[in-house]
Chain A
Amino acid sequence: MKKLQDQHFYELLNVEFNASPLEISRAYKEHHELYREDSLASYSFFSKQEREEILAKLQDAYSTLMDEDKRYRYDRLLIERGILPEEMQFQAEHRALRRASPSTHFIRNPLLKITDELKAFISSNTVIQEILSYGVLSGKDLKRIRKELGISLEVIGEITKIRPMFLHAIEDDAFDIAPSRMFLRSYLKAYAQCIGLDANIVANRYLKRIDEQKIPHP
């Protein structure tokens, strides 16, 4: 196990990097119960000084991760130090953006604010550019782009409000459960917008592939 001073806040609280405030709060309560001064469970296991150090760090972790700005800055710090992988950057930004204003869910393109950076990344990424040079796009291609950007399907689902089942169907080319063509087009557009791609191009190329290959549905 890592020493206390080497653990970052997510390790200390034993939560995922993308944990919600509710999960963080719950983890903090559990850990506080374990380490508090009069805790029976850890009685005699820690010295007074150790206990104080742990509690102080726990408090620090809680106040940092529960504050959107502080958490965003802390995430950036971890990414810069190489503790968290680079692709977490976009997740951190998505999260910061979602938290900054809850109403962003209802804005047509919630990622407009960060698309400059996102677009710069897309235009410099050779894998994505290669995929975008194809005349048609499959679900697998979309999935590869999404993976390159490090954006999870759950994030897209949360922002676009499209049911995960349909997002999976789009990426897996599973047309037996895909929605009707009209819905599919709008879902594709929302998906593309969400990850910073041109909505019409993506939707047209995806549907073109279906038409060319005469895939029966939708």
Chain B
Amino acid sequence: MAHIWPIGGGKGGTGKSFLTGNVGIMLAKQGFKTLLIDADLGSPNLHTVIGRFYPERSLSDFFSKKVSDLEDVVLETPISNLFLISGASNKLDVANLAFEQKMRMLRAISRLDYDYILMDLSAGTSFNTIDFFTLSGSGVFVCCPEPTSIENLYRLILSVYIRKIHHLLKSPSFKDLTQKAESRNPDATTHKPEVLLHVLKEIDPEKAGRIERILQAFQFRLVINQLRQQDNPMIGNLICQIIEKYLCLNMQFMGNVSFDERVHDGLCRKAPFVERYLYSQVTLDLRSVARGIVNGNHEQTENSLSVSQT
């Protein structure tokens, strides 16, 4: 079964597509059969990151049921072992997916025969983005060492946390819980979602325990991108500490990716960065991220794709 890694991060421009594309290329070159899915449905551009390339089929063919099998929208890429499900010619309304469609897509993805599946998600905290995290139970968050990016990262993670509790509790009891929690702490549904679990523990300890176990089984990773020389290289570790301490989520720091002016140059030339600048620091950093994804396998097999749990 494939290892599925949704890749997201609250803010736009943090390098989600860049990281997905280039890490995907590295995994493919190491001999792993790798599939990249451009799940940034509103603004897809993963095909551009991995090279000049005109995708003829896209995800919306699957959603509109033009094709029944997700495998039919998989495209070959100029790189061997690397495959792509593009979003380039998506219909314009595909950015708003129903929950059932996402479930259908994830079920179809879990049946695909690849070693690694990396999903490039859109910025923001729309349900399109957070549902891929909640449903797959894993994910890589990409963040820049800047207040704006970190603020949105926390927002995304808190949204994933609340959304998962919502899924597991079903609407009426979730509404009841939020009302009770908000009467205790007005920030319960904004900054302090852990209050929800504290309150639920008092109302229904068994259910709270079950939800807590599901949340703890999440396999989240963090990558700090565009780290400049003057930045604190430990920032990723500190962020993970906060997430683990206050939300009890399993958040591991995967590494820093250095800032490099040439990333812009590579994109303008529509050439994959890791191919064009093979011996740069960024390529070295991305290699260690790819290694982290390969080493993360073991843990994911036990917790992967919790679609059946929801």
Q: Tell me the A residues contacting B by CB distance below 8 Å.
A: 1, 3, 33-34, 39-47
Contacting pair B198 A44 (CB below 8 A): no
23 contacts between A and B (CB under 8 A): A1-B245, A1-B248, A3-B198, A33-B238, A34-B238, A34-B241, A34-B242, A39-B238, A40-B145, A40-B150, A40-B232, A40-B235, A41-B241, A42-B238, A42-B242, A43-B150, A44-B151, A44-B154, A45-B154, A45-B242, A46-B191, A47-B187, A47-B191
A46 to B, closest residue via Cβ: B191
Q: State the CA gap A39–B191 with chains docked (Å).
A: 17
Beyond A40-B147, A41-B150, A47-B187, 6 extra complex contacts between A and B, CB < 8 Å: A3-B198, A40-B145, A40-B235, A43-B150, A43-B151, A47-B191
Contacting pair B235 A41 (CB below 8 A): yes
Q: Does B177 contact A (CB under 8 A)?
A: no
Residues on B with C-beta less than 8 A from A40 are 145, 147, 150, 232, 235
B243 to A, closest residue via Cβ: A45
**What is the number of contacts between chain A and chain B, taking CB atoms within 8 Å?**
38
* Interface residue total, chain B, C-beta cutoff 8 A: 19
Q: Tell me the B residues contacting A by CB distance below 8 Å.
A: 145, 147, 150-151, 154-155, 187, 191, 194, 198, 232, 235, 238-239, 241-242, 245-246, 248
Q: State the CA gap A33–B239 with chains docked (Å).
A: 11
B198 to A, closest residue via Cβ: A3
B248 to A, closest residue via Cβ: A1
Tell me if A's interface is mostly helix, strand, loop or mixed: loop
Residues on A with C-beta less than 8 A from B187 are 47
Q: State the CA gap A43–B146 with chains docked (Å).
A: 9
Q: State the CA gap A41–B236 with chains docked (Å).
A: 8
B239 to A, closest residue via Cβ: A41
Residues on A with C-beta less than 8 A from B191 are 45-47
Task: Give me the 3 closest cross-chain CB pairs, A-B, nearest first.
Answer: A41-B238, A44-B151, A43-B147
B240 to A, closest residue via Cβ: A41
Residues on A with C-beta less than 8 A from B154 are 44-45
Residues on A with C-beta less than 8 A from B245 are 1
Contacting pair B147 A41 (CB below 8 A): no
A3 to B, closest residue via Cβ: B198
The minimal Cβ–Cβ distance linking A29 to chain B, given in whole angstroms, is 12
Q: State the CA gap A45–B241 with chains docked (Å).
A: 12
Residues on A with C-beta less than 8 A from B150 are 40-41, 43-44
Q: State the CA gap A1–B191 with chains docked (Å).
A: 16
